[in-house]
Amino acid sequence: MGIPGRSCCAPDEIAFGALAVLTGIAWVMIVYKAWQSLRNKSRDAAFLDEFWNSSDPLAARKVCAAHTGHLARIASAGFSSLDKPDPGRSTAPMTPSRHQRATLMAQLLRALRHAVAREVERMNTGLGLLAFMGLAAPYVGLLGILWCAPRMDADATGIEPNRLTSAGAHGDTDLALIAVSATAAIPALLACYYFSRRIDISRGGFEDFADDFVLSARRHRFKDAGPSASAIAERPLENAETLPARDHSYGQILKSSALIGGSSAINIAIGIVRTKAMAVLLGPGGFGLMGIFGSIADLTQSIASMGINSSGVRQIAEAVGSGDDERIVRTATVLRRIAVVLGLLGGGLLILFSREASTLTFGDSRYASAVALLSVAVFFRCLSAGQGALIQGMRRIGDLAKMGIIGTLAGTLISIPLVYFFREEGVVPSLIGIAATGVLTSWWYSRQIRLRHASLSLREFKDESAALLKLGFAFMASGLMMMGATYVIRVLIVRKLGLEAAGLYQSAWALGGLYVGFILDAMGTDFYPRLTAVAKNDAECNRLVNEQAHVSLLLAGPGILATISLAPLVVTLFYSTKFYPAVELLRWLCLGMALRIVSWPMGFIILAKGAQQVFFWSEAAWTVVYLAFAYFGLDLLGLNGAGAAFFGSYIFHVLMVLLIVRQLSGFRWSVPTKKVALVFLALISAVFWAAYALPPLVGMLLGTLAAILSGVYSLRTLVGLVSSDRIPHRILKLLVWLRLTGSHPSEAQA
């Protein structure tokens, strides 16, 4: 049975049914988690009363056995570690030596630390699903509205709806969808936030109990021990995995983000000037010709370089992480030589098939000589890719930033005069000039890396090259799949909706990835080689991924909120009012970009581990899902279906990558990262919904307010993650004046 007067009853019923299921599951989980929290709180309180009133350790053990709460399990883990015999002895002596006491205490500390982590993980069980329910409910309702609205319009008017736009709310049924969505979303998200705060408080209580347990164990078992328990606790654990200072990692992330993001912004500004000059000098026809030649060079270089610009970074970073100078020299030498070989092969193949490439692209062979001349640009690009991989693998981030800016500026200064004097005949020489400046700047900075000359046997060269190319092939295939998916999406849009829709999609895609691209560039430039250097240490690897995701969400969240809120202004500012139908598509793409920020740090674990087959098939699975969603989404939602497909594909990508990295490194999200992700994903969902459910001006104002407040929250959090002595004096003084930090500039200098 449908709703009277509407022919699209089936979509309505599906949406209401899905929302009813989500609401029911969410409320059941909320009630269960609340009951579980109260039960564990009661158990821990009862356990503490009995435990600390125990007359001796034996009585305390019996208390642990009689209780089942969090603290009882932590204490049981501590007692179990004390029962383990000293390695190398069948029977522990009655009076343990100083070394044995220290080893046993280290064993106890390690056991308690792991027990606390297990209990926190136990408390987190179910919160991810509850958050998913809360975040998914608004989109289910919105999809129901968008799915039904065009069909309703068709039934009412007898005219096929315009697929380039979506309808808003239609009557009582759509208001009911909004209400039911809110019934599931708001309580679920509030409950997630509340339970996360309770977990933070409980973690502190667990750690305090563990400290008290150590003191008690030392008092009862090591009465005559030398150093104090606090001194032992502060000492690095023998044979344990030691972690670098947390502040250093956060400071490094922010520094690299600022360097690479700033250089990317400058490069974009220079690129805009160059593009504008080329468009004026060449006109539409010549500018299109330049774009085609550039695409030919891009595709040839992508295939010819065999992904060594990415695999080379990993191999160099892994060699640096090993600390083996001989291995570093050997890997760098092979990388440089293989770049020359691949450049010659790529350029030679383009010359050999220049006539066929011209015929395939232009319909005849009149541009065959120009295509053959592009082989020089391909050769230079392959050399530049190899040298850039060496610099990035060595983590010379400042050199990379300067190399990008100088290369882009020099390429612009060479290409514009060539086109000015020779017009269309200067297009290919200008592309060669840009590639030549790139290889010269990369050569200049790569020669700053002092490496001694290495003589390699043919066997050593083959072994190193095989490892480099094997992983590089996976990168190349992934890049080609991404290019192919983008091409297929555009073809589908053109065939289903027309050329105008394709132009709208291109404009929204460019804007959606503009701000997020700065953060992702920095992530790939610095984080990838840094993670590769510690890839064999799972605990360190997982810590770095959590910290990178934490900072990336804080940096990206306010920008994504601002883009969603101010989408009409952004589209009009960058393009014109004719591109206004791209506003809703831009908002959908921003949702996918938010999930990309979550997914990419995890995905780098796969690359750092060198799991090329896993990486290839995961990218292939994502590509298939993306294309399938886009194919059906364009029919159901019009042009917005392409954006919804991107968003849906990244929901799949996050879940898939999370399962993979859990197997590879045992990855788990840390509590601070979960909290920040929940805050920003909830805000992004709310602002996205407000754009549809509220009047445009009200939705824009509320979204702008959310972006400003989240920006303040992000800035305060980031300042708290980095010690004040690492912040420049003038910036710290400004932050204190704005009350974004409590540190005084004089403290930073002291």
Amino acid at 672: P
Same domain, 230 and 263: no
Q: What is the mean pLDDT of residues 545-568?
A: 88
pLDDT beyond 70 at 175: no
pLDDT beyond 80 at 260: no
Same domain, 431 and 360: yes
Q: How many CB atoms lie within 10 A of CB 125?
A: 10
Measured distance CA(246)–CA(548) in Å, rounded: 12
**468 contacts 313 by C-beta, under 8 angstroms:** no
Query: Which of 456, 472, 500 is the C-terminal boundary of a domain?
Result: 456
Digit-coded pLDDT (tens) for 442-459: 888 888 777 766 677 777
**pLDDT at residue number 467:** 73
Measured distance CA(346)–CA(340) in Å, rounded: 10
Measured distance CA(555)–CA(734) in Å, rounded: 19
- Least confident stretch, 21-35, 369-383, 620-634: 21-35
Q: How many CB atoms lie within 10 A of CB 204?
A: 10
Measured distance CA(176)–CA(20) in Å, rounded: 12
**205 contacts 216 by C-beta, under 8 angstroms:** no
Q: Tell me which residue range forms the domain holding 405.
A: 258-456
Assess if residue 220 is contained within a domain: yes
Counted residue by residue, the chain has a size of 750
Digit-coded pLDDT (tens) for 600-636: 888 888 888 878 788 888 888 999 999 999 988 888 8
pLDDT beyond 50 at 155: no
pLDDT beyond 60 at 225: no
The tokens describing 714, both together, are 């992000």
**pLDDT at residue number 308:** 77
**pLDDT at residue number 331:** 79
CA distances from 20 to 3, 135, 157, 169 (A): 17, 15, 31, 20
Nearest to 688 by CA among 115, 181, 291, 15: 181
Same domain, 401 and 294: yes
Q: 15 or 170: which carries more pLDDT confidence? A: 15
Measured distance CA(254)–CA(718) in Å, rounded: 9
**pLDDT at residue number 507:** 78
Digit-coded pLDDT (tens) for 397-441: 777 778 888 888 888 888 888 888 888 888 888 888 888 888 888
**pLDDT at residue number 646:** 92
**pLDDT at residue number 737:** 59
Digit-coded pLDDT (tens) for 564-587: 888 888 888 777 777 788 888 899
Q: 232 or 356: which carries more pLDDT confidence? A: 356
Digit-coded pLDDT (tens) for 478-534: 777 887 787 788 778 878 887 778 778 877 887 887 778 777 777 777 777 888 778
Assess if residue 700 is contained within a domain: no
pLDDT beyond 60 at 547: yes
The full DSSP string for 642-659 is: HHHHHHHHHHHHHHHHHH
Alpha helices (runs of H) in 305-396, residue ranges in sequence order: 308-322, 325-352, 354-362, 368-393
Number of domains making up the chain: 2
pLDDT beyond 50 at 676: yes
Alpha helices (runs of H) in 125-163, residue ranges in sequence order: 127-157
Same domain, 68 and 195: yes
Measured distance CA(474)–CA(481) in Å, rounded: 10
- DSSP, collapsed to helix, strand or coil, labels residue 527 as helix
Q: What is the mean pLDDT of residues 87-113?
A: 64
Same domain, 386 and 324: yes
Same domain, 66 and 175: yes
Residue 718 binned pLDDT confidence (cut-offs 50, 70, 90): confident
Q: What percent of the chain has pLDDT over 90?
A: 2
Measured distance CA(69)–CA(47) in Å, rounded: 8
Secondary structure, 3-state, 460-517: HHHHHHHHHHHHHHHHHHHHHHHHHHHHHHHHHHHHHHCHHHHHHHHHHHHHHCHHHH
Measured distance CA(212)–CA(229) in Å, rounded: 10
Assess if residue 327 is contained within a domain: yes
Same domain, 354 and 294: yes
Query: Which of 456, 479, 496 is the C-terminal boundary of a domain?
Result: 456
CA distances from 517 to 33, 264, 521, 525, 713 (A): 38, 9, 6, 12, 22
Would the pTM count as exceeding 0.85? Answer: no
**pLDDT at residue number 91:** 45
The tokens describing 78, both together, are 């501590």
Buried b (16+ CB within 10 A) or exposed e, 141-166: bbbbbbbbbbbbbeeeeeeebebbbb
**pLDDT at residue number 573:** 79
Assess if residue 65 is contained within a domain: yes
Assess if residue 547 is contained within a domain: no
pLDDT beyond 70 at 359: yes
As a whole number, the mean pLDDT across the chain is: 76
- The angle subtended at Cα 292 by Cα 291 and Cα 298, nearest 5°, is 85
Same domain, 267 and 182: no
pLDDT beyond 50 at 238: no
Highest mean pLDDT among 7-16, 291-300, 705-714: 705-714
Nearest to 386 by CA among 323, 462, 306: 306
Same domain, 196 and 264: no
**496 contacts 634 by C-beta, under 8 angstroms:** yes
Same domain, 158 and 288: no
Assess if residue 605 is contained within a domain: no
Query: Which of 419, 435, 456 is the C-terminal boundary of a domain?
Result: 456
**pLDDT at residue number 41:** 85
pLDDT beyond 70 at 90: no
**pLDDT at residue number 34:** 84
Assess if residue 646 is contained within a domain: no
- Least confident stretch, 176-180, 557-561, 739-743: 739-743
Nearest to 172 by CA among 18, 17, 16, 27: 16
**What are the two backbone dihedrals, phi and then psi, of residue 141, each rounded to the nearest 5 degrees?**
-65, -40
Same domain, 206 and 314: no
The tokens describing 190, both together, are 């509030």
Same domain, 325 and 402: yes
Assess if residue 618 is contained within a domain: no
Measured distance CA(706)–CA(684) in Å, rounded: 9
